[in-house]
Amino acid sequence: MEAPNVTERTWIKIKSEENENGIDGYVFKVYSNGNLSVGYHQNNTKAIKEDVIWEGSFWKFKYEGPNGSYLRGADEAIVKRGPTH
């Protein structure tokens, strides 16, 4: 299945084998290859920015294990506030 069309400043779900429901990720950048740079709220404590890739039917983290960088300022606030449903 082809990756959905995603734009910057929107929210996606990031999933994994362990977490089928996924977590909310805020899209900061869409790369030319279709990968994304997203921010997410880790354990309701830290705002992290990390790359995700399309896995055929869902978005998943590009790298396994600890990765990414801490967000600060306005970017951190957006991610901690989360999507408005």
Confidence of residue 64 (pLDDT cuts 50, 70, 90): confident
Domain count, the chain: 1
Tell whether 5 is covered by a domain.
no
| pLDDT, tens digit (0-9, with 9 covering 90-100), for 1-48 | 788 999 999 999 999 777 788 999 999 999 999 999 999 999 889 999
Tell whether 6 is covered by a domain.
no
Domain extent at residue 18: 11-81
Tell whether 35 is covered by a domain.
yes
Task: Dig out the tokens for 1 from the structure.
Answer: 């299945």
Tell whether 3 is covered by a domain.
no
Higher pLDDT residue, 52 or 43?
Answer: 52
Q: What is the pLDDT of residue 85?
A: 57
Tell me which H or E stretch contains 84: none
Tell whether 22 is covered by a domain.
yes
* pTM to 2 decimal places: 0.92
